[in-house]
Amino acid sequence: MTNRNTWLAKVRRTFTSVLPVSKKRMGKCADCGACCKLPNECPFLKYKEDWKSYCSIHGLRPLNCRKYPRVKWEHVTEDTCGYKFK
Ligand code: SF4
């Protein structure tokens, strides 16, 4: 992860999460849980027996979680994320 993994970056993601997801985003979530640790591990992040992650408040999760990675600049978890940008 890069130095974009900061609380300031999270605040920015939160405020811009009302905007649409980029049409250049492809793929799907691979349940790696990396985005649930930006910048610190979320208390609602849980793991299944196969160590895939899940959100224990999935239906209530905030917009910045629902839309991550919304645009390329906020995608700091490229190494493990199932989403890619064209
Ligand atoms: S980083 Fe990507 S693949 Fe991993 S949990 Fe978040 S959206 Fe899903």
Each residue's pLDDT tens digit, 38-81: 999 999 999 999 989 999 999 999 999 999 999 999 999 999 99
The boundaries of the domain holding residue 25 are 7-85
Which of 22, 29, 85 has the most ligand 1 atoms within 8 A of CB, as the residue to mutate?
Answer: 29
Dihedral (CA of 70, 71, 75, 80) sign: positive
The verdict on the CB of residue 1 being under 6 Å from ligand 1 is no
* More confident call, 41 vs 1: 41
Residue 4: predicted pLDDT: 80
For the stretch 62-68, contacts whose Cβ atoms lie closer than 8 Å and that sit 24 or more positions apart, written own/partner, are 62/14, 62/17, 63/14, 63/17, 63/18, 64/10, 64/13, 64/14, 64/17, 65/35, 65/36, 66/17, 67/17, 67/21, 68/13, 68/35
Does any domain span residue 53? yes
84 DSSP β-pair partners: 26
Residue 51: predicted pLDDT: 87
- Domain count across the chain: 1
Going from the Cα of 23 to the center of ligand 1, the distance in angstroms, rounded, reads 17
Does any domain span residue 2? no
User: pTM of the predicted model, to two decimals?
Assistant: 0.90
The verdict on the CB of residue 9 being under 6 Å from ligand 1 is no
